[in-house]
Amino acid sequence: MRNGDFAVNNRFLRACRREPVDRVPVWFMRQAGRYDPEYRHIRETYTLLDICREPELCARVTRMPVDKLGVDAAILFSDIMVPVGAMGMSFSLQEHVGPVMERPLRTEEDIASLRVFEPEEELPFVLETIRHLANTLPVPLIGFAGGPFTLASYMVEGGPSRDYVHTKVLMLARPDLWGRLMSKLSQAMARYLRAQVQAGASAVQIFDSWVGSLSVHAFRAHVKPYIQAMLADLAQLGVPLIYFGVHTGELLADFAEAGATVVGVDWRTPLDRARQRVGTSVALQGNLDPVSLFAPPDVLRREVETVLWLGTESPGYIFNLGHGVKPTTDLAQLQRVVEWVHTFEPKAQTAHCTKEERA
Ligand code: 1CP
């Protein structure tokens, strides 16, 4: 595989397809961000949304962790809220808080006024950034969008929430309106992700970070059908489709059943248990506790190795954290993790042997 004139490291894509790899691939959710002094310096002049709207700068920020950490994939620098603006809802990203809506979405009229937008028209800067990156990056680029439940939670609550009261009450008490909201969000995000792939993204991740706040039966009744439709639509593109949320141990089997080809796992569920739940037809991604990056290097190394042993028990494994890099993480710790992952012998992945055969 080549991007422009560069030979591209494709072990990330191979692992997504459960093919043998020379080394375990690694990238980190939120790998571009505040832990990096160069990013903090850029943020003194530009807001996060300024960066997203400036293709050259955005491409530079996307690339920074590839050069500094040696990760095997880049993730587009953006935010899950960027397309929410394009759907017609105003918001701001507030320091130490996160996304805050100008006016929360609560009524039938609010839902009716949401636009399933045309990405080329509303977010041309995202696609321009991707086109630029696809020709220059030495690793595959992951495009992304928020999952419908997670986006709905910000829109309906008006900002970050602990218990999602308004969102869940809308879902339970007005399933008709909830269905309209989920349809619009899943259609808009599928269209947005399709445009990202057409512009040059080699894989996509749906960040449904807060979907694990739902019971299994609520997920099945009120969210899964829309994820399934989204993933079926995107499957035609032939790229890996990663679906991720935190606190989702009980939902993992449903994630695989819904059509994800890579299932993201948070740190609470051991990867061997995750594998039992999802079966062998999907790849797994995860799941080092992001807080372990604050432990001394020898302790961190043991944690990394535990994750690696469990992850490489079966083919199709991508090392990652169980959630995003925390802003005060030491860059040197992330560099160490990449080195340890890359020097680990991925026995099961190359030889396809079982745990018993290896013992
Ligand atoms: O300027 C800043 O540094 C503010 C922090 C920040 C950053 C770095 C925000 C505000 N967004 C981002 C970029 C971002 N957001 C990326 C960058 C690409 C990467 O390197 O990974 C990505 C993938 C996201 C996705 C995102 N935004 C998610 C899903 C992933 C996750 O962490 O669960 C969510 C939930 C958001 C909302 C959001 N935006 C920003 C914050 C602080 C939050 C979370 C607020 C909350 O806890 O509810």
pLDDT digits (tens, 9 = 90+) for 146-173: 999 999 999 999 999 999 999 999 999 9
Residue 114, phi-psi category: left (phi > 0), alpha (psi -120 to 50), beta (remainder): beta
pLDDT at 347: 63
Our mutation pick for probing the ligand 1 site, out of 28, 34, 79, 153, counting the most ligand atoms within 8 A of Cβ, is 79
**30 Cα: distance to centroid of ligand 1 (angstroms):** 7
Q: Quick one: pLDDT band at residue 358, thresholds 50, 70, 90?
A: very low
pLDDT digits (tens, 9 = 90+) for 340-355: 999 998 665 444 434 4
pLDDT at 333 exceeding the cut of 50: yes
Residue 270, phi-psi category: left (phi > 0), alpha (psi -120 to 50), beta (remainder): beta
User: pLDDT exceeding 90 applies to what percent of the chain?
Assistant: 93
CA 30 to chain centre: 9
What tokens appear for 341 in the block? 């992952």
What tokens appear for 38 in the block? 């160069």
pLDDT digits (tens, 9 = 90+) for 96-139: 999 999 999 999 999 999 999 999 999 999 999 999 999 899 99
Contacts for 134 with CB less than 8 Å, ≥ 6 apart: 3, 4, 141, 199, 200, 201, 202
Q: Which residues of 87-104 are buried (b: 16+ CB within 10 A; e: fewer)?
A: bebebeeeeeeebbbeeb
Q: Are 171 and 178 in contact (CB under 8 A)?
A: yes
Mean pLDDT for the stretch of residues 279-290: 98
Ligand 1 atom nearest the C-alpha of 207 is: 29
**111 Cα: distance to centroid of ligand 1 (angstroms):** 24
pLDDT at 261: 98
22 belongs to an annotated ligand binding site: no
User: pLDDT exceeding 70 applies to what percent of the chain?
Assistant: 94
**32 Cα: distance to centroid of ligand 1 (angstroms):** 10
pLDDT at 3: 57
Instruction: Map tokens 């191979």 to a residue.
Output: 14
pLDDT at 61: 98
Ligand 1 atom nearest the C-alpha of 43 is: 1
Nearest CA to ligand 1 atom 14: 79
pLDDT at 355: 43
CATH architecture classification, 4-358: Alpha-Beta Barrel (3.20)
Our mutation pick for probing the ligand 1 site, out of 26, 28, 30, counting the most ligand atoms within 8 A of Cβ, is 30
pLDDT at 359 exceeding the cut of 50: no
Q: Are 352 and 64 in contact (CB under 8 A)?
A: no
Map the chain to HEC letters.
Answer: CEECCEECCCHHHHHHCCCCCCCCCECCCCCCCCCCHHHHHHHHHCCHHHHHHCHHHHHHHHHHHHHHHCCCCEECCCCCCHHHHHCCCCEEEECCCEEEECCCCCCHHHHHCCCCCCHHHHCHHHHHHHHHHHCCCCCCEEEEEECHHHHHHHHHHCCCCCCCHHHHHHHHHCHHHHHHHHHHHHHHHHHHHHHHHHHCCCEEEEECCCHHHCCHHHHHHHCHHHHHHHHHHHHCCCCCEEEECCCCHHHHHHHHHCCCCEEECCCCCCHHHHHHHHCCCCEEEEEECHHHHHCCHHHHHHHHHHHHHHHCCCCCEEEEECCCCCCCCCHHHHHHHHHHHHHCCCHHHHHCCCHHHHC
Q: How far apart are CA 359 and CA 347, in angstroms?
A: 11
Mean pLDDT for the stretch of residues 19-33: 96
Peptide bond preceding 320: is omega within 30 degrees of 0, i.e. cis?
no
Q: For residues 359 and 175, which has the higher predicted lDDT (pLDDT)?
A: 175
Ligand 1 atom nearest the C-alpha of 160 is: 48
Which residues surround ligand 1 with Cβ inside 6 Å?
Answer: 29-34, 43, 48, 75, 77, 79-80, 93, 98-99, 144, 160, 207, 209, 324
pLDDT at 356: 42
Q: How far apart are CA 19 and CA 243, in angstroms?
A: 19
How distant, in Å, are the alpha carbons of 83, 104, 197 from that of 114?
11, 12, 24
Ligand 1 atom nearest the C-alpha of 161 is: 48
**106 Cα: distance to centroid of ligand 1 (angstroms):** 24
Contacts for 89 with CB less than 8 Å, ≥ 6 apart: 101, 102, 103, 105, 114, 155
274 belongs to an annotated ligand binding site: no
Mean pLDDT for the stretch of residues 207-232: 98
pLDDT at 8: 79
pLDDT at 2: 46
